Chains A and B, each alone.
Chain A
Amino acid sequence: MELHILEHSLKVASIEKEGIQICTHGLIKLAFLASKTRCKFFSLTETPEDYTIIVDEEGFKELPQSEYISVADATWLALNVVSGGGNASNSQPIGVTKIAKSVIAPLADHNISVFMLSTYQTDFILVRERDLPLVMHTLSSEFTLLRVVNGETVAVHDLGVTNGFVKPKLVPRPIIHPLSSPSNMFCVTSLDPDTLPSVATLLMDVMFYSSGPKEPGACSEDSNHIRFFSFSLIEGYISLVMDEQTTQRFPNNVLFTSASGELWKMVRIGGQPLGFDECGIVAQISEPLATADIPAYYISTFKFDHALVPEENIQSVIGALRTKSTAQ
């Protein structure tokens, strides 16, 4: 398997809901007018708490400085696992499940904090730039490491630094954060970039006016219903995560719906904001899923983490994770 270290230098930021209007100019430019910026990596995720922005340094210049925006101080690098085309096994699990054992767990063992972003096309594992030597050292045994430099993929070699790194302690990982499962179901989908202009106003409405027509207090019709929407435009590919009701608003055939038309349920991790320093959270969730061979998407935001699992598996997932947390 190959692990590609992408060349984007990423910033992770949070925009408070009240402050979104001062950022919309930049965000619309990044999302819909990609040719006007030099940004190649942009992701916007709306949660009930805030908007999480993941953007490369070129794109970051488009955002204003404001007290509503908090930025995680580290610079992040995106890793991408490319499995060799050779093994033609048809039952490839999707998402973090595939890489749980090979990437997530070893990084957790080495106390490396990761930030996950699953998209329709692939999964990005974000690590801090300063952790890169340790990451490379940790993963070099399992992966062919390739680094993207100016668009060209070149092989990199382990720096050979083995001293000074703590030996991993192989301990069981109990789940320590509270979990919740909202009631609405989600779609992970995409659309043709050529058709983006035709649905741009709809997308803007979904992104920025989700709470518009409804009174802020009146959304308690279903307390378990969660507001969650994610848009990413990464290297020309668009990925969308939205709940089923939102997909109904799109014209037919615009969204890429898979032949099997899966729907996903969400597992929300964290009661308190998780912060960026704690490690092992993704591993705690993904390892049991991998053991059960359940596909999952995983989207980290500024405050909480979100896992998406197939709707028919949600009960077994909740069950499995609860057992793990109570077993502590």
Chain B
Amino acid sequence: MSGSKPDILWSPHHPDRYVICDSELGLYRIGPVGSSETKAGTLPLSEETAATLLAINSDTPYMKCVAWYPKHEPECLLAVGQANGRVVLTSLGQSHNSTCKELVGKEFVPKHARQCNTLAWNPVDSNLLAAGLDKHRADFSVLIWDISSKFSPEASVASEKIRLSTVDLDSSSVVTKPLYELGQNDACLSLCWLLRDPKLLLAGMHRNLAIFDLRNTSQKTFVNTKAIQGVTVDPHFHDRVASFYEGQVAIWDLRKFEKPVLTLTEQPKPLTKVAWCPTRNGLLATLTRDSNIIRLYDMQHTPTPIGDETEPTIIERSVQPCESQIGSFAWHPSSQNRMVVVSAANRVMTDFTVFERISLAWSSSTSFMWACGRHLYDCVEDGAEGVDSVIEKDIATKMRQRAQSRYGHDTVQVWRNHLLAGGSDPQLKSLWDDLFYMKQCAEDIELKLQGNKQSVVYSGIKNIVKTSSGTTESRRCWSGSDRQSDVPRYHSEERCLALRLCGWISRGPDIDVEIFLRSLEQEREWERAAAVALFNLDIRRAIQILNKGATAEKGDLNLNVVAMALSGYTDEKSSLWREMCSSLRLQLKNPYLCVMFAFLTSEPGAYDGVLYESSVAVRDRVAFACMFLSDAQLPRYIDKLTNEMKEAGNLEGILLTGLTKDGVDLMESFVDRTGDVQTASFCMLKGSPGEVLKDPRVQCWIENYRNLLDAWRFWHKRAEFDIHRGKLDPSSKPLAQVFVSCNFCGKSISYSCSAMPHQGRGFSQYGVSGSPTKSKVTSCPGCRKPLPRCALCLMNMGTPVSNCPGTGKSDDKVDLTRENKLAQFNNWFTWCHNCRHGGHAGHMLSWFRDHTECPVSACTCKCMQLDTTGNLVPSDSS
């Protein structure tokens, strides 16, 4: 038969059999390639599967539609609708004594011949076969045949004047009387039985979709539409139906049948088939004419509290099962997402599985989940024995812990933040020490008196030494020795400030490192203390420190040996001591011991052995440079070191760059290296708001850190950070976004706390001044009319909550700290933005702990659910 498009039907009960119908019916069995390759005539369908032709049936010409009997027995019974409207039962590959023998060959003939467009077996009462026919005058177009009915010649002849023109048919197998006749004067283009009730039949009629009820055939529910082709019910959602018209698919909800709930984007070519995936919820496959792709629509219902208003999200994608143009396709009834596709020409078949989309989500901690098909995978980083260490080394874990220990929040003893961060990172220690010294200098009244000195404190040593002027050179004696040293030392106010920033001295202008040495001794940094003492030309103090270190508990006895070597110092240029020291010092493991001998054996002004010893802390090298490098050498060295630090993202370099643009550059490479936006945010907040804080990079770090805190549900930490940030950078304070106006006069009633920032989401708060010393404020300050009442306690707002301790009683008057002056959160005024009911925050919170609806009677607003974050619990303690 010419012009017939192929179609595929899977057997409803044999997962390995399907029928292809074009001009004839062909039954195929699908199997793995290996088992069937020995047989001749197998057709490969994919790399793994092949099909074997089991049977061919060409008894029924002019096929228009085919439907497979839905029950187990008799198996492989097919109904074929023909071009002249006859419906013939036929079978494939069955032995002749099979159970369906008496059914096969049975014909159902409509009164007037016209094309049979569609067939549908009733899924429950499988004797019922619905046939949809073209229009013929006033005749019915939907005929429901009972396949078990017998031909009754007497009854029919009398009423219908039967004259069977086709004599070759066994007249006993012809049925002309349908069980039901529906859809008079109309054409039927598609049919399907509704799964929610097997007595209901959905029909795509000419220009309308109609639901016929077999219990009352004179009534029908219908909706006018053009999308009347290919009606099909979602097997997973019995109220959802798809139909199409030309290139457009309409999705209907039978509960709201007036109009489509969705129409999918129109295709340029007319559709030929639309089918719901039987193994996957909400997946619809569509095929257009002359196309080699199948378009898939994934309809996801994401339940939201305000579900009515949100449309389901549809993810559209295409698959290309084969190169050639597709004639038809059919989903496998049970195998997940699998289909067989037949080409438009030559009956080339392809076995194809639609790969499921993978969706992936990172958790805000260290794991992530991915979902594919029916599988959900939870992945954590795997490291045989080092699981803990790998995760713990991760900066996210560190930042989380540091956030919990209030890292960055110590604004007085700034250096303590290093301890809050765990105390194990030398760079952080250096950073916070730097910031501590800068803060100290900035607050120094003495410096304030010296004019603009204070303002340069945060601009880093690099800038400080550049402005250096009036440097004096001096040659000091080795202390405790009368020998004149030929080592020149340089002094200026700026160099002195730099030394302070390095932490060597605490006050200028005298360079007294004794305090510093003692603190180093306390921290058992013997070598460093000795080196600092030596650089201050106090060789005896250095020896003394080393001796102390050797004799201290767990001390290194080798320090005595070093002290001995040190004591032999001579400034003879060609002495043996000098010769040995300069070569053997390189074998010393401790860098400070090493630089001590480098210093002693260097020519004046040529201290590369000290200055470029990278194991020595930057602050010590800088301090050394400030003392011994000339005005010409110093800036060059500092510039070089700064660039080195910036490139490496070494936080020790903050000492040089300060919190300037250079500092941001340095911090940028630090963040690039470590991802530690937390340190970057806190550090940069210390800088002057005008300059660095405006830098987009800094704003980015801060915002990212805030988002991170939110993602961890550290909302209290986030709020604390915002407060902290607001103190240091007043421009970041958000303006008040919510005001409470009086119902009567319309004026804002928040006069008493106008500066209170609001960050509320679904709810807003109004901090009522609950100061016990004042008279209770329960009325509008503008017009003196009462404020609204709390929906629960029925008191006017502004009244302190009665059961809340610590407010409302005058005996608290004594400790009126600022915190107490502000009302407790329980007293805050909250209301729902949707229904506008509200009351005291404490009351509302306890109400919604047990209820979902608004406390105001007769209000059904689900206030708390409207707040999408309202049901989440913060994971940090307040």
Contacts and interface: CB of A to CB of B under 8 A. Distances in A.
A172 B184 CA distance: 35
Contacts of A153: 207
Nearest to B224: A153
Given A85-B186, A122-B137, A260 B113 contact: no
Interface string A173-205: 000000000000000011110110110000000
B114 A260 contact: no
A253 B165 CA distance: 10
Nearest to B161: A260
Interface string A132-175: 00000000000000000000010000000000000000000000
Interface in A99-136: 120-123
A226 interface: no
B161 A192 contact: no
B540 interface: no
A258 B111 contact: yes
A262 interface: yes
Contacts, number: 92
A259 B135 CA distance: 16
Main secondary structure of the interface of A (DSSP, over half): loop
B61 A121 contact: no
Interface stretch (A86-94, A206-214, A319-327): A86-94
B138 A83 contact: yes
A98 interface: yes
A192 B83 contact: yes
A252 interface: yes
A190 B114 contact: yes
Contacts of A304: none
B243 interface: no
B183 interface: yes
A86 B218 contact: yes
B84 interface: yes
Given A83-B138, A121-B135, A252-B166, A258 B113 contact: yes
A85 B111 contact: no
Contacts of A255: 84, 113
B2 A197 contact: yes
Contacts of A191: 83
A83 B165 contact: no
B185 A258 contact: no
Nearest to B207: A153
B109 A259 contact: yes
B4 interface: yes
Given A257-B84, A257-B165, A261-B165, A83 B185 contact: yes
Nearest to A123: B137
Contacts of B84: 192, 253, 255-257
A318 interface: no
Nearest to A256: B113
B2 to A, nearest CB: 6
B112 interface: yes
- Residue of B82, B83, B111, B113 with most chain A CB atoms under a 10 A cut-off: B113
Interface in A53-94: 82-86, 88, 92, 94
A94 B161 contact: no
Contact of B112 (A197, A254, A256): A256
B61 A253 contact: yes
B658 interface: no
B650 interface: no
Nearest to A95: B137
B319 interface: no
A92 B112 CA distance: 13
A200 B83 CA distance: 17
A85 B183 contact: yes
Contact of A82 (B83, B112, B181, B185): B185
Interface string B326-346: 000000000000000000000
A257 B162 contact: no
Nearest to A194: B3
- Residue of A153, A189, A192, A195 with most chain B CB atoms under a 10 A cut-off: A192
A192 B184 CA distance: 21
Contact of A88 (B111, B112, B115, B218): B218
B185 A259 contact: no
B663 to A, nearest CB: 72
A120 B185 contact: no
Interface string B112-123: 111100000000
B176 interface: yes
B62 interface: yes
B83 A195 contact: yes
Given A85-B186, A194-B3, A197-B2, A260 B163 contact: yes
B110 interface: yes
A76 to B, nearest CB: 22
Nearest to A85: B184
Interface string B172-205: 0000100001011110000000000000000000
Contacts of A98: 138
B216 to A, nearest CB: 12
B62 A253 contact: yes
Contacts of A192: 62, 64, 83-84, 115
Given A85-B185, A88-B218, A258-B113, A195 B62 contact: yes
B113 A190 contact: yes
Contacts of B161: 260, 262
B221 to A, nearest CB: 13
A32 to B, nearest CB: 13
Nearest to A87: B184
A120 B110 CA distance: 15
Nearest to B186: A85
Interface string A33-61: 00000000000000000000000000000
Given A194-B2, A253-B61, A260 B135 contact: no
A192 B134 CA distance: 10
A258 B137 CA distance: 13
Interface string B683-700: 000000000000000000
Contacts of A120: 136
B170 interface: no
A88 B217 CA distance: 10
Contacts of B358: none
- Residue of B109, B138, B186 with most chain A CB atoms under a 10 A cut-off: B138
Interface string B39-66: 0000000000000000000000110100
A123 B114 CA distance: 16
B872 interface: no
Contacts of A84: 185
- Residue of B112, B161, B218 with most chain A CB atoms under a 10 A cut-off: B112
B547 to A, nearest CB: 108
Contacts of A83: 138, 184-185
B580 interface: no
B815 interface: no
A153 B110 CA distance: 29
- Residue of B62, B176, B183, B185 with most chain A CB atoms under a 10 A cut-off: B185
Given A85-B186, A98-B138, A253-B84, A259 B162 contact: yes
Given A82-B185, A83-B185, A85-B184, A194 B83 contact: yes
Nearest to B111: A259
B164 interface: yes
B113 to A, nearest CB: 3
Nearest to A197: B2
A88 B2 contact: no
A86 B184 CA distance: 8
B63 to A, nearest CB: 11
23 contacts: A83-B138, A83-B185, A84-B185, A85-B186, A88-B218, A92-B137, A121-B114, A121-B136, A122-B137, A189-B113, A190-B114, A192-B62, A192-B83, A192-B84, A194-B83, A253-B82, A253-B83, A254-B62, A256-B114, A258-B111, A259-B164, A260-B111, A260-B160
Closest CB pairs A-B (n = 3):
A256-B113, A192-B83, A261-B163
Given A192-B64, A194-B83, A260-B160, 8 more contacts: A197-B2, A198-B2, A252-B166, A253-B61, A253-B62, A253-B83, A256-B85, A261-B163
